Amino acid sequence: MTNERAFIHPREFPLDRIFMTQAEVMRRNPQRLEFLQVESILHCDLAANLIVGHRKVRADEFWVHGHLPGRPLLPGVMMCETLAQVASIHAHLELKLQENVFMGFGALDKVRFRAAVAPPCDLWVAGKILKASARRPYFSWGGQLLREDGFIVAEAEIVGVGM
């Protein structure tokens, strides 16, 4: 099952072709431990305004036993956090921000959850900057979370601001 509105198809972005490692992601995003949601950045093409990230959903994550017992489902808030973390990396690269600039949530709009996600699985995150300013810094970003078959499981517009 695929979705015609998807920015990408995951098969075009293999998990072993990495643009930015998790260690490089962590130099720009301060999230650690359970809140680090990005495994790697697979692709970034600033001219084409496209970034593709990877999130591995593991069966031993902190939420698995409580959301929901016997049928673990990745919480929507974690899907939104995953989108926001990839959006932050895209903003850092596009706006050429210093690594220590923290891009925090400013708003979350047009959120849609289209399918449940159960561990273990891999998710691709694809997104495009809709508007940005290096002066503030500020950005608006449209992103999608996709399964391996190309189906969009969640999408949202993220607004980020430098803090």
Contact 29, 44 (CB under 8 A): no
What distance in Å separates the CA atoms of residue 156 and residue 91, rounded to the nearest whole number?
Answer: 16
67 catalytic? Reply is yes
Number of helices (H), then strands (E), belonging to the chain: the values are 2, 6
What distance in Å separates the CA atoms of residue 82 and residue 92, rounded to the nearest whole number?
Answer: 16
Residue from 79, 138, 130, 78 nearest 103 by CA: 138
Q: Kind and range of the H or E element at 76?
A: helix 76-95
**Given the residues 65, 67, 90, 92, the one annotated as active site:** 67
Contact 122, 54 (CB under 8 A): yes
Annotated active-site positions, please?
67
